[in-house]
Amino acid sequence: MFSAPGLAAIGAGLVVIGAGVGIGRIAGSAMDGISRQPEASNKIQTAMIIGAALIEGVAFFCAVLCLLALNK
C-alpha cells in the first residue's frame, strides 16, 4: 500500500485539494466584487486570473515533486 507510485498519487491528490480551495476562494471573492460593482468587472477579472495562475504555480510545483517521486 505504501508503494512509491501510490503515495505519489495520494500526494498529488492532496495538492489538488489545496489548489482547489485556494482558487475557489479567489473566484468566490471575485464574484462578490463583480456583483457589487459591475463597472470594475474588467479589473477584477484580470486580478482573478493572475491570482489563480500564481496559486496554480505553487500547486504544480508540488505536482512535479510527486512526478519525481513517482519514478524514484
Partner 1 sequence: MADNITNNQHMTEEVQHSDPAHTDPGSALVIPDPGMVIWTWLVFFLVLFILRRFAWKPILKSLEEREESIKNSIGDAEEANRSLERAMQDQRTLIDEGRKKAAGAINDAGNTATAAADELRENARKESEKMIAEARSEIIREQENALAELKSDVGDLSVMVVSKLLDADLDNDRNRGLAKEYMTALSG
Partner 2 sequence: MSSAATDASQAASSGGQDVSAYVIHHVGNSDSWHPLPGVGVPLGGDFHLFGIDLGLSLHALMLLIAGGIVFLLFGILYKKQSDRAPSGITNMLEALVLFVRDEICVNYIGEKDGKRLAPFFLNFFFMVLVLNLMGLIPLFSTATANISVTMGLALITLTMMIIGGIVKNGLVGFFQLFLPPGVPKAVYIILFPIELMGLFIKPFALTIRLFANMLGGHIVIFSLLGLIISFGWFGVPSLALALFVFFLELLVAFIQAFIFTMLSAMFVGDMMHPSH
45 contacts 29 by C-beta, under 8 angstroms: no
In the bound state with partner 2, the residue whose beta carbon lies nearer, of 34 and 63, is 63
The interface partner of residue 72, options being partner 2, partner 1, none and the CB cut-off 5 to 8 Å by kind, is: partner 1
In the bound state with partner 1, the residue whose beta carbon lies nearer, of 44 and 66, is 66
Stretch that binds partner 2, among 22-30, 31-39, 52-60 (CB under 8 A): 52-60
Angle between helices 41-71 and 4-36 in degrees, nearest 10 = 180
- Please choose, from the candidates 45, 49, 52, 67, the residue with its C-alpha nearest in 3D space to the C-alpha of residue 20: 52
